[in-house]
Amino acid sequence: MTQDTLTKATVILMTLAISALFLAMIQPFLMTLLLAGIFSALARPLYLRLQARLGCSESIASLLTLLLIAVMVLIPSVFLITILIGQALDVSELISIWVRGVIEDPTDFLAALQHLPFYDEVIEHRGLILEQAGQAATLVSKLLVDWVSSVTLKTVNFVFLTFVLLYSLFFLLMDGPKFILKLLYYLPLHTRDERLMLDKFTSVTRATLKGSFLIGVLQGGLAGIAFAVAGIDNAVFWGTLMALLSIIPNVGAALVWIPAVIILIAQGAVLTAILLALFCGLIVGSLDNVLRPILVGKDTRMHELMIFFSTLGGLLMFGLPGLFIGPVIASLLISIWEIYGVEFADVLPEVDESLVGPTAPSRPEHAAGCDEEAAPDEPAQAPACESDSSVSSESNSPPDT
Per mean pLDDT, which of 201-215, 289-303, 352-366, 374-388 is the most reliable?
A: 201-215
Question: Side chain identity at 186, as an amino acid letter?
Answer: Y
Residue 204 has pLDDT above 50, yes or no: yes
Expressed in percent and rounded to 5, the helix, strand and coil fractions of the chain are: 75, 0, 25
pLDDT given at position 20:
93
Question: Side chain identity at 131, as an amino acid letter?
Answer: E
Task: Please write the tens of the pLDDT for every residue from 2-28.
Answer: 888 888 889 889 999 999 999 999 988
- Among 82-91, 95-104, 354-363, the minimum mean pLDDT is found in 354-363
209 vs 340, residue with greater confidence = 340
Q: How far apart are CA 227 and CA 256, in angstroms?
A: 11
Mean per-residue pLDDT, 82-108: 64
- Per DSSP, the residues of 331-358 read HHHHHHHHHHHHHTTTTSPPP-GGGT-T
Q: What is the pTM of this model?
A: 0.59
- Per DSSP, the residues of 275-286 read HHHHIIIIIIHH
Reported confidence tier of residue 362, pLDDT bands at 50, 70, 90:
very low
Domain boundaries, the chain: 30-184
CB neighbour list of residue 145: distance below 8 Å, 6 or more residues apart = 89, 92
Mean per-residue pLDDT, 110-127: 60
Residue 123 has pLDDT above 80, yes or no: no
Cα–Cα separations (whole angstroms), residue 94 to 234, 246, 323: 11, 25, 30
Find the angle CA(7)-CA(12)-CA(17) to the nearest 5 degrees.
125
Question: Side chain identity at 143, as an amino acid letter?
Answer: L
Reported confidence tier of residue 170, pLDDT bands at 50, 70, 90:
very high
Q: What is the DSSP letter of 387?
A: T
Mark 35-58 as b/e (b = at least 16 C-beta within 10 Å).
Answer: bbbbbbbbbbeebbebbeeeeeeb
259 vs 145, residue with greater confidence = 259
Question: Side chain identity at 196, as an amino acid letter?
Answer: L
Could you give the angle at which helices 126-153 and 155-185 cross, rounded to 10 degrees?
70
Task: Please write the tens of the pLDDT for every residue from 379-395.
Answer: 444 444 444 444 444 44
pLDDT above 70 coverage of the chain, percent: 63
Dihedral angle, C-alpha 364, 208, 205, 370, nearest 10 °: 10
CB neighbour list of residue 32: distance below 8 Å, 6 or more residues apart = 161, 164, 165, 168
pLDDT given at position 74:
74
Task: Please write the tens of the pLDDT for every residue from 324-350.
Answer: 788 788 878 888 888 888 888 888 888
Task: Please write the tens of the pLDDT for every residue from 44-54.
Answer: 888 999 888 88
* CB of 36 closer than 8 Å to CB of 163: no
Name the region of 374 (left: φ>0; alpha: ψ -120 to 50; beta: rest).
Answer: beta
Sign of torsion over alpha carbons 144, 150, 155, 160: negative
pLDDT given at position 143:
64
Question: Side chain identity at 61, as an amino acid letter?
Answer: A
Task: Please write the tens of the pLDDT for every residue from 77-93.
Answer: 776 667 666 666 666 66
Question: Side chain identity at 378, as an amino acid letter?
Answer: E
Average pLDDT, the chain: 74
